[in-house]
A and B are shown apart, each in its own frame.
Chain A
Amino acid sequence: SQQGEEDPQALSIQEGENATMNCSYKTSINNLQWYRQNSGRGLVHLILIRSNEREKHSGRLRVTLDTSKKSSSLLITASRAADTASYFCATDPLLAGKSTFGDGTTLTVKP
């Protein structure tokens, strides 16, 4: 089964609003990554957060990680229509040497 679960499954907001997506996972990890996928396209790496980090920023993106709760959140501030995409978290479980993806959140930003 997939390592990660994300919620919500779908999120629809207006341009300018903030979007928050959550990811939960099951086993201890080395790191957690967030990716974006536009419809029918490959994945674009957004940000990586290591297991010893609690928060990380990159432009309009803010990622938090709570290893005690085995969860992470991705916040996109001041959203734009171009942010419309599916967002996936991927975990790198200890000793696994491979990433496992969550179910994804489909974000729609209305202009």
Chain B
Amino acid sequence: GAVVSQHPSWVICKSGTSVKIECRSLDFQATTMFWYRQFPKQSLMLMATSNEGSKATYEQGVEKDKFLINHASLTLSTLTVTSAHPEDSSFYICSARPTGGISYEQYFGPGTRLTVT
């Protein structure tokens, strides 16, 4: 149980285009999902907290107009990287917290590798 999927697993796009990444909780509902970014050989940096039915909360330094988050249902959150640039190339990982779960409980997706050329 507690499986989180991400789609796509990898994507290559041209500079200036937008890319959408999906995060789904497959067997549980998640009011809260988290989006992380990880550069090679570095740790995970929290980008934003996605809340179903409300606006996402972004971490300091993360451009909300560039990284659009939509948490339209209790099982789906999407991250859209708008006008992508090569420096946005990274590994994006989401996690989902089961609705009603305790604060530390979260399940991670397998990640999406974005390469912007």
Q: CB distance A101 to B44 under 8 Å?
A: yes
Complex Cα spacing A41 to B83, Å: 26
Q: CB distance B113 to A40 under 8 Å?
A: yes
Q: CB distance A42 to B111 under 8 Å?
A: yes
How far in angstroms is the closest Cβ of chain B from A43?
4
Complex Cα spacing A100 to B42, Å: 13
Residues 40-95 (chain B) with a chain A CB within 8 angstroms: 41-46, 49, 91, 93, 95
Residues 57-106 (chain A) with a chain B CB within 8 angstroms: 88, 92, 97-104, 106
Q: Which residues of B sit under 8 angstroms from A11, Cβ to Cβ?
A: none
Complex Cα spacing A88 to B44, Å: 9
Q: How many A-B residue pairs have CB under 8 A?
A: 51
Q: CB distance B43 to A43 under 8 Å?
A: no
Q: Which residues of B sit under 8 angstroms from A45, Cβ to Cβ?
A: 107-108
Tally of A interface residues using CB under 8 Å: 23
Q: Which residues of B sit under 8 angstroms from A101, Cβ to Cβ?
A: 36, 43-46
Q: CB distance B43 to A42 under 8 Å?
A: no
Q: Which residues of A sit under 8 angstroms from B41, Cβ to Cβ?
A: 106
Chief secondary structure at chain B's binding surface: strand
Q: Does B109 make an interface contact (CB < 8 A)?
A: yes
Query: Which among B34, B41, B43, B109 has the greatest number of chain A C-beta atoms within 10 A?
Result: B43
Q: Does B106 make an interface contact (CB < 8 A)?
A: yes
Q: Which residues of B sit under 8 angstroms from A42, Cβ to Cβ?
A: 6, 93, 108-111
Known A43-B93, A88-B43, A104-B43; judge A99-B111 contact (CB<8 A): no
Partner of A103, one of B42, B111, B113: B42
Q: CB distance A103 to B43 under 8 Å?
A: yes
Q: Which residues of A sit under 8 angstroms from B36, Cβ to Cβ?
A: 101
Q: Which residues of A sit under 8 angstroms from B6, Cβ to Cβ?
A: 42
Q: List 20 A-B contacts (CB under 8 A).
A: A30-B103, A33-B104, A42-B6, A42-B93, A42-B108, A42-B109, A43-B44, A43-B93, A43-B95, A44-B108, A45-B107, A45-B108, A92-B103, A98-B34, A99-B46, A99-B104, A99-B106, A102-B43, A104-B43, A106-B41
